[in-house]
Amino acid sequence: MPAARELIAEYQATGTLKALPLGHFIDGRFTQPSHNRTMESFDPGRGEAFARFTAGTAEDVDQAVQSSRIAFETVWRDMAPAERSRILLKASRLILENLDLLAVAETLDSGKALQEAEGDVRGAARAFEYYAGACDKLQGDSFPLGPNYVGYTVHEPVGVTAQIIPWNFPISTAARGFAPALAAGCTVVAKPAEQTPFTALLLAKILHDAGLPAGVCNVVTGTGVETGAPLTAHPDVDHITFTGSVQTGKAVMKAAADEITRVVLELGGKSPVVVLGDCDREQALSGVLGAIYENAGQICSAGSRLVIEKSIHADFVAELVKRTKALKLGHGLGNPDVGPVNSAEHLAKVAGFVDRARARGADVVTGGAIAADPESSKGWFYQPTIVDSVAAGDELAQEEIFGPVLTVQVADDADHALALANDCQYGLVAGVYTSNFAKAHQLARKIDAGQIYINEYFAGGIEVPFGGNKKSGFGREKGLEGLKSYCKTKSIAARIG
């Protein structure tokens, strides 16, 4: 495969990449759509279209679902777990062999810095490696029913799974859904976001090259209305994994209810980073900075609320402002500190939050304006922003901005910090920085979130279950809990006396 520098040179010379696929991936190959329509995909770093992809329809979705249904019933469900494991392990190796193409495509599609995209690709490979090791270890329990009975459980694959993939972490989210579903013996029909279609298509081809039978993993591209909605409402889909907004998640739940389809929802967050006065200051500063500005803040689990103890508030925020001002904006291929946001529409949304806050008299201590790539004067950029001393009920403290905007809330003490942390409709993750481990674990127990990071934001990996409480959704991905999401448990009891 071409190296990253060759792919970057190709893009700079031609404005596109010839290796990007066109068409859906159905039944083991790239296929022509039912209607020959395409859409543009945009490079957020330039604000310009760089490629076209297929705009699918409900007919394409139906073809993909039926292909996966046949593959599930005739090939994949009954394949020996050890053989499934070998295929997933080979897929992990092939992902790494294709790292440069996948990372450059991800950067062009999403806007994120190339080094972040490379990390996402490595994480995707690790996801397949992890679940490859779980295929032949998915075992049930036995029940002590007495000498005249035998009782046990088996974990069976749920069937055809729909995977709705967001635009902020396309290959990461695809991998964390595909890998456990395939490990459990399920088949996959994926619909990537219309802003970021390419790495899901490339991943499906890599899986097929690794030995995945035709139809086991299909990908259909297009809009949410024309492909996403028909997929989530399809009567032959047995499970839906959705990552996205609360509003769209509600629509997915309603569609799933009509067919009594199982659902895992990850709907975003407004995650607090609690920094207490006894923290390791350098550790906390570095953690807070990365928690909000990685991927330009476009992370469901971003640490978008700094809840800081009053005793260190002024000095800590002053240093945070200094470091934030030093961050460099730029096109993702140049590995900036902060890249663009994903679209012009999203840029306007992020700017709207800060503009309204400023009109209310908010203290915007740094940033707070639309920007551009300093080299090209193009792209959809927003300055890394900090808004200080925000009230608990303010829109900035309650709503998900999904951009490089940090809201600061001041707490009198640890108990007040806990109250502020929980005073939100979301409950995805939270961070805690303190040198008092008893206090850290007390806060970890009492903060209402699906995952707590202590003294390192984004700690953990594919091994650690991930998912939210409250309006952040329900169900868990990653870890062995994520594998169970794609299983149905059957109990068997027999009289043998």
If one counts every other C-beta atom within 10 angstroms of the C-beta of residue 167, the result is: 22
If one counts every other C-beta atom within 10 angstroms of the C-beta of residue 408, the result is: 23
CA distance 205 to 218: 9
Residue recorded with tokens 């403290």: 397
Could you give phi then psi for residue 160, rounded to 5 degrees? -85, 125
Residue recorded with tokens 């972490």: 169
Tokens of 177: 């859904």
Residue 43 is inside which H or E element, if any? Answer: strand 38-43
Cross-strand bridge partners of residue 475: none
CA distance 269 to 256: 23
CA-CA-CA-CA torsion for 71, 72, 74, 76, nearest 10 degrees?
Answer: 90
Could you give phi then psi for residue 42, rounded to 5 degrees? -110, 145
Pairing assessment for the beta strands 405-411 and 305-309 based on DSSP bridges:
parallel
In degrees, to the nearest 5, what angle opens at C-alpha 357 toward C-alphas 356 and 359?
65
Q: How far is CA 281 from CA 247, 287, 316, in A?
A: 38, 10, 8
Could you give phi then psi for residue 164, rounded to 5 degrees? -100, 115
- Residues forming the active site: 266, 300
Sheet strands side by side (includes 262-266) = 29-31, 24-26, 217-219, 187-192, 160-165, 239-243, 262-266, 473-474
With a CB cutoff of 8 Å and minimum separation 6, the contacts of 172 are 120, 123, 124
CA distance 62 to 80: 28
With a CB cutoff of 8 Å and minimum separation 6, the contacts of 136 are 81, 82, 85
In degrees, to the nearest 5, what angle opens at C-alpha 113 toward C-alphas 279 and 166?
90
Strand segments (E) across 230-374:
239-243, 262-266, 272-275, 305-309, 363-366, 370-371
Tokens of 369: 């304006």
| Contact predicate 472/400, CB 8 Å | no
Strand segments (E) across 286-413:
305-309, 363-366, 370-371, 381-382, 385-388, 405-411
